[in-house]
Amino acid sequence: MLKVGFFSSQPYERPFFSDEHHPQLSIVHFEQRLSARTVTLCQGLDAVCVFVNDELDRTVLERLAVVGVRLVALRCAGFNNVDLDAARRLNIQVCRVPSYSPDAVAEHCVALMLTLSRKIHKAYNRVREDNFDLNGLLGFNLAGKTVGIVGFGQIGRSLAGILSGFGCRVLVTDPAPLPNQADIAQVEFDELLAHSDIISLHCPLTPDTHHLIDESAFSRMKDGVMLINTSRGALVDTRACIEALKRRKLGYLGLDVYEQEAGMFFEDRSDDIPLDDVFARLISFPNVVVTGHQGFFTREALSEIASTTLESLTAFEEGRSLDQHCQL
Ligand code: NAI
């Protein structure tokens, strides 16, 4: 029997992650994020199942190794929160869900784009107050616009397909060689910045991509550009965003992720005093829409995340090797 500690557990996940049909697994749910403060909860566990804001740095991994945890199963695609070198050294296996409905995230990007381009967030509030004035709601068409996609992996590709349907011109930048596609132009990062009306980020967060979008990147963009980030918060320097919004360089900003989201997103903080001044300033702009890391949050994606993760845990317990696409 594999005893699994399921950290950052939310009520909406539990029906998908039931161990009812997996007699080899015993899942214990913890609402807490896994971090150096909460790692004491791992006593007696064989594996931990974690999400995007759990912290698996060297210190946490060393403590996991001491209590006998042998597997870290990420129930997400990104793995920037795990020190993979330390895990390897400590003989802790790490797996993830490499693919689960990229369409879920791509469709959420389009939802952010259309909310901003047609000012749906403002219109929704106006109509609820019987205000049917159109002043200030003038939008723009997506058709004919140039959209730059940074990172042409699974989500980037799904987004390109949707945007081609909207009649957009799609530019992509990615260090990997890309398949020749008639409707997609692969360009250098600088060219993408210079020519895009909308820029959407879909590369992983690594030391190389940290603050990929900073003051210098903004200075190379078109005036009034729209930026969408559904990938990882730290791809964007938030303070530089605020300055670019103030100068109207950045005309629209749609975020599903935020640099300092750990400890804030996925929780109801509506009764708390807001303590993050940068975030408070960010959401004060009328042309900024932020969602709390919900790009992945569709029935289809959750069900795929659960089936892949439960299969990895079961394979590990049965001594089978993990799927090569899941193993890190
Ligand atoms: P993927 O691995 O299929 O694609 C990532 C692509 O980025 C690859 O083609 C890679 O070559 C490219 N890339 C790497 N460095 C780059 C750079 N410096 N510039 C341009 N491209 C670069 O990943 P996938 O599934 O498309 O996911 C992308 C990211 O989306 C993940 O890393 C994760 O952080 C985020 N994500 C967010 C979710 C949400 O709920 N908001 C859900 C799932 C993923």
pLDDT tens digits, residue range 185-199? 999 999 999 999 999
Mutate to test the pocket of ligand 1, among 155, 184, 232, 309 (most ligand atoms within 8 A of CB): 155
Measured in angstroms, how far is the CA atom of residue 246 from the centroid of ligand 1?
A: 29
Measured in angstroms, how far is the CA atom of residue 151 from the centroid of ligand 1?
A: 6
Contacts of the segment 35-41: beta carbons below 8 A, 24+ positions apart: 35/60, 36/60, 36/63, 38/7, 39/63, 39/64, 41/5
pLDDT of residue 230: 98
pLDDT of residue 248: 97
Mutate to test the pocket of ligand 1, among 110, 154, 231, 325 (most ligand atoms within 8 A of CB): 231
Name the superfamily (CATH) of residues 2-100+299-317.
NAD(P)-binding Rossmann-like Domain (3.40.50.720)
Query: Which residue's structure tokens are 């009306």?
Result: 197
Q: Which atom of ligand 1 is nearest to the CA of 297?
A: 40
Check if 2-100+299-317 and 102-290 are the same fold: yes
What is d(CA 67, CA 69) in angstroms, rounded to the nearest whole number?
Answer: 6
pLDDT of residue 86: 97
Measured in angstroms, how far is the CA atom of residue 253 from the centroid of ligand 1?
A: 19
For the chain, the structural domain boundaries read 2-100+299-317, 102-290
Low-confidence ranges of the chain (pLDDT < 50): none
Give the contacts of 267 (CB within 8 A, at least 6 positions apart). none
Domain 102-290 - what CATH class? alpha beta
What pLDDT digit, counting tens, does each position of 68-123 carry?
Answer: 999 999 999 889 999 999 999 999 999 999 988 899 999 999 999 999 999 999 99
Residues labelled catalytic: 232, 261, 293
How is residue 278 written in tokens? 């940068």
Task: Find out whether the beta carbon of 235 lies less than 6 Å from any atom of ligand 1.
Answer: no
Measured in angstroms, how far is the CA atom of residue 262 from the centroid of ligand 1?
A: 19
pLDDT of residue 132: 98
Task: Find out whether the beta carbon of 112 lies less than 6 Å from any atom of ligand 1.
Answer: no
pLDDT of residue 210: 98
pLDDT of residue 279: 96
pLDDT of residue 325: 87
Rounded alpha-carbon distances, angstroms, from residue 213 to 92, 157, 233, 241, 252 = 34, 21, 11, 8, 14
pLDDT of residue 262: 84
pLDDT of residue 67: 96
Task: Find out whether the beta carbon of 265 lies less than 6 Å from any atom of ligand 1.
Answer: no
pLDDT of residue 177: 86
pLDDT of residue 322: 87
Measured in angstroms, how far is the CA atom of residue 177 from the centroid of ligand 1?
A: 15
